[in-house]
Amino acid sequence: MRVFQLSQRHQVQQTPQTSSLASFYSMWDAVARFAKEIRASEFMSDMIRRRDAYGSDGVMGALDCATLYGLTRWLRPMVLVESGGFIGMSSAFILKALVDEKLANAKLYSIELSQDCEQGALIPEELRSSGGFVPMRGRIEDFLKGDQLPASIDMFLHDSSHSYQHMLWEFRQFWPRLRDGGLLVSHDVQMNAAFPEFVTNTYALEKKTGRRDFERTSHYEWGRWGYIGFAIKKVGR
């Protein structure tokens, strides 16, 4: 199954638009399968125990963590940035997906503004010390201004301030950094119109028919699952 998915992803570079779309459409089944697997796992039970012992205020819920895990496993990213790392519920599921895909050199840059929280406290020690977790303390705005983040990334997760302005600002900042086929993921897309508005603006329509103009549309696929939204970047050729 893995080989099948990888070869399909490679095809995206050269094949006609219909098969590109078909290969991305198949991601839904893969993500659902990975999410189901982690939902039933000992890792999930352990994370829920940790979260309940620490206090669950402000952390990503179990269903969304499973979706995030599935998306990460499907993409197999090497360079990831997350905003709003906090005590690390989302980080733990990303790191677990990287380990399960045996991506030993992958890096998660996890940005957290608050000086008070114990950043990454929920992440199991073996994942935290695996070398993939790169905690960064400060405002995401300042890290971008200081050019302290990778210029090219495979996956971005928004989970910081959920104001309309800030969400849209982060999407617009990180979308250009995503490579072709890279993934923008947002938590709490139900909070305001930022995510649907952003996705709407990636569509280009044919004047005559009002149908999607594949060439000029800048995503391959997008969707929403629970409170998670995602969009797969398509670079124009």
From the list 20, 90, 186, 202, which residue makes contact with ligand SAM (rule: CB under 6 A)?
90
- Among positions 166-225, residues that touch ligand SAM (CB under 6 A) are none
**Which residue, 214 or 227, has its beta carbon nearer to ligand SAM?**
227
Identify the residue among 27, 47, 60, 98 touching ligand SAM (CB under 6 A): 60
Least gap, CB of 108 to ligand SAM (angstroms): 12
Tokens of 152: 């090219």
- The verdict on 84 binding ligand SAM (CB under 6 A) reads yes
Strands laid side by side in the 107-112 sheet: 133-137, 107-112, 79-83, 153-158, 178-186, 228-233, 219-225
Residue in 64, 66, 68, 72 with CA at minimum distance from that of residue 102: 72
**Which range, of 25-33, 134-142, 189-197, 199-207, touches ligand SAM by CB under 6 A?**
134-142
Backbone angles phi, psi at 203, to 5 degrees: -85, 140
- 87 sits near ligand SAM (criterion: CB under 6 A): yes
Reported as half-sphere exposure (CB side, CA atoms, 13 A), residue 30 has a value of: 19
Rounded to an integer, what distance in angstroms lies between the CA atom of residue 221 and that of residue 217? 10
Q: How far is the CB of 197 from ligand SAM (least distance, A)?
A: 20
Question: At CA 100, angle to CA 95 and CA 102, rounded to 5?
Answer: 95
User: Binding of ligand SAM at residue 72 (CB under 6 A)?
Assistant: no
Is there binding between residue 139 and ligand SAM (CB under 6 A)? yes
Interface with ligand SAM (CB under 6 A): 58-60, 83-84, 86-90, 111-114, 117, 139-141, 159-161
